[in-house]
Structure 1
Amino acid sequence: MVDPAYVQTMARYNAWQNRSLCDAADTLDEEGRRRDRGAFFRSIHGTLNHVLWADETWLHRLIGTPKPPISGRDAPTYVEDWAEFRRRRAERDEAILAWAATVDANWLRGTLIWYSGAAGRELGKPRAFAVMHMFNHQTHHRGQLHAMLTAAGARPEDTDLLLVDEPR
């Protein structure tokens, strides 16, 4: 089910989709990115920030990179400056790709234990399950972003996973 090839494919998909959504968001002005569109994290900017915050949180749990300095409750305002957000998003996507290239089947069979601020306690799950959750979380929120961007008149690329290795 979850093997190194899955992790590497999903890392490529993640980077491709984040580029597409950010490029589409670039066509909007600041007000357009920050307008409350009725989504859980309100705006395009807030939802993009939440995904970045969550990716940094999961990288911290999985490989020990620095933990975001704010809680998930504040994630929608994580990186306020759009240019800085784009830089950080690209860096994290490269970090996810680099990490994915090192994942092996034995590591995936292990258990990940971490403290969850949302649950208020320590949790433990199989690493493969946690990795699958990380990628599923990204995909879930990128669907919201795609809908918000399209409604705002931007044109993100197709989101089909089947196209991840196709020339664009």
Structure 2
Amino acid sequence: MTNKDYVLMMARYNLWQNENLLSTTDSLSSSDRRLDRGAFFGSIEKTLSHLYWADRIWMHRFAGTPEPAGGIPESARNIKNWQSFREERKTFDERILQWAHEVDASWFDGDLSWFSGAMGCQVTKPKNMLVIQLFNHQTHHRGQVHAMLTAAGVKPSDTDVPFMPKHFLTL
């Protein structure tokens, strides 16, 4: 189902698309980033904050990176300084890519167990399914951000995997 090649492609895509959306978001004012636009988490900034939090939760489970504080309700309130967030996000995207390069093929076999705050119980699922969840969740919320940016009058670049710039394919 999932394998190292899939993880590498999606980690590269993640890095590319976060740069795409965040650089587009840079053109908005702070108030425009924080404006409630009717998405699940409300604003562009809150959606990006939640996405960053969720990526850190999954990487904590997968690779033992530091666990972010709080749960889903708090996940949308983690951006205090836009520029600092931009730098942290890029660094973490590079960490995801590093993990993709380093993960052993055998890691995808078997299950992963954790306590799910969202479900309020211990959960055990196949690792290969959970990797799909990491990248699918990113795509879901980046789609929301893309729609909010478009509604705000700014247009991100391409988002289709086949149009990923060649230099990302070599990272």
The alpha-carbon deviation at position 166 of structure 1 amounts to: 3.5
Paired residue type of 1:61: R
For residues 125 and 131 of structure 2, what CA distance do their matches in structure 1 show?
Answer: 10
Q: Please list, as runs of the form range in 1=range in 2, the aligned pairs for 1:1-150 lying within 5 A after superposition.
A: 1-150=1-150
Q: Which runs of 5+ in 1 are unaligned?
A: none
> For the Cα contact (< 8 Å) 2:45–2:79, is it kept in 1?
no
The alpha-carbon deviation at position 110 of structure 1 amounts to: 2.1
Q: How many equivalent residue pairs?
A: 168
SS of equivalent residue, structure 1 residue 17? helix
For residues 141 and 159 of structure 1, what CA distance do their matches in structure 2 show?
Answer: 13
> For the Cα contact (< 8 Å) 2:39–2:144, is it kept in 1?
yes
Extract structure 1 runs of 4+ deviating beyond 4 A: none
> For the Cα contact (< 8 Å) 1:47–1:76, is it kept in 2?
yes
Q: Which runs of 5+ in 2 are unaligned?
A: none
The alpha-carbon deviation at position 2 of structure 1 amounts to: 0.7
Paired residue type of 1:64: G
Residue 163 (structure 2) aligns with: 163
The alpha-carbon deviation at position 91 of structure 1 amounts to: 1.2
Paired residue type of 2:26: D
The alpha-carbon deviation at position 163 of structure 1 amounts to: 1.7
SS of equivalent residue, structure 1 residue 77? coil
Paired residue type of 1:66: P
The alpha-carbon deviation at position 25 of structure 1 amounts to: 0.3
> For the Cα contact (< 8 Å) 2:53–2:68, is it kept in 1?
yes
> For the Cα contact (< 8 Å) 2:2–2:128, is it kept in 1?
yes
> For the Cα contact (< 8 Å) 1:70–1:78, is it kept in 2?
no
Q: 1:5-42: CA deviations, max 9, x gaps?
A: 00000000000000000000000000110000000000
Q: 1:60-83: CA deviations, max 9, x gaps?
A: 111111111121111111122101
- Give TM-score, length-normalised by structure 1: 0.96
The alpha-carbon deviation at position 165 of structure 1 amounts to: 4.6
- Give TM-score, length-normalised by structure 2: 0.94
Percent identical pairs in the alignment equals 49
